[in-house]
Structure 1
């Protein structure tokens, strides 16, 4: 492995001033490049979907930390000095460019050689209401999802992890990157990648079979995060307020959704665990519809219907089958 690069003096000084001496995910005294605590590869993930891949593929040979803690809406993350320093200490960074602008900026300034951008590992697409929307007033990071060329997404939908097929493509790229950063354990990373891809292939089959015959193909959700999932399984996603789960929909959009619900026999309005359910419940109440959770899996909390990606995705499948009238 390459010899670990030295941490800039300014970074260490700033950390000490904040009383954050134990900053890194790996031991600062370890000079054997690519080794975190206990000699493991130090991997920093930007948010849960990237963290899950790193943990599943890296196994016992990696020490994975995440910048987005449970319960934090990833798009709105603002990095603290400790987290910026953590980035500088990483052997490998796994992230998705464009979904968290503050993270993208910090990574560009970190000097870390081994960075893995999930958006570059599969083909991104544009999905209806996902395009051209931003926070009102241009706030927060969702603005980058709606066509900000500086984000690198150019209006593309970043929620690739909600399609098991695309997520498997990303997994393969992450596995190859870990092998390159830590060739001594490349065989293990290759084996773990293959095992994860097999699980994702099985999940894809479950969704395809479970949603093949339904009473309706349309579902309503607060967050336009499910474009890839809808496209993969022949469904139609209708978002209340585009990409911003907290935004209030316009009266025209509410009326339009009420019309769509009647026309397409929609039974359920979906909300999510990391955002308010107020808008979804208001729309459901006014339209005589039910509510349920469809989790965009941007983070796992005690409110999540499962302990990891696979469990929550299967809970999503169950919710969709019930709402769509699967036969």
Structure 2
């Protein structure tokens, strides 16, 4: 049996990340262009709340733990790919995806496209757009040789299309017997120090930019974010200064976000940042410069000084 598009789910910590649904939505679009089937593969058993209805086929790799181990996953996914014969393999540009994409492309002598932000079918060819140099350049290539492995930047596609309730056809592939020959085993999963933040999944984001002035002042906006029970995100200058860790960065060289509401304090609105947040449903900006580019995309805005406004908002929310 063969499928046209295969999506790799990264349920590394026991939960399926939002980007998997992004890949399912885009995978459905691409598979329709090929006039074929969309498949999803994951390690272990799917949880009851994740039916993955956007997929036609659900491959479960039995005989292995869901915890990520590069040699085991490369071997196991290799068996799935040999069975499914996909033209396109979609994986996210994350810790797992960066590791897997190149290895799988090499294993099957396929094409690799990294840091993908768009992919469409045009005249029988796959046209892929990737960001280079931290998003400073965009590269568009036409792929007509398959299989093609696409490593997709999280936040690039809508996830709603992939969140379809249904019952895909189950195919269980037992890989337990072959794993004994893998060159490594998973012993322990250690999460990176990211303060537990996932800004791509948050419905509300409170974001801060260069206008905050110093690392000490970041705490002012952090208190508002805490009061609103929202993650604190930031533009690139704040990250470059070391005022917040990298997982908090919004922008081409950070993460693309699509919250329901995006609050921007002291953010001028450089193109690098706007590329990462312009898809938010509602953008509310605070900047003392009335000509700041952020106001060109903001739905609501004010030129009040953030040092006057933020404490008032924190009091209102906290009260």
Q: Which has the higher strand share?
A: 2
Relative to the length of structure 2, the TM-score reads 0.29
Relative to the length of structure 1, the TM-score reads 0.29
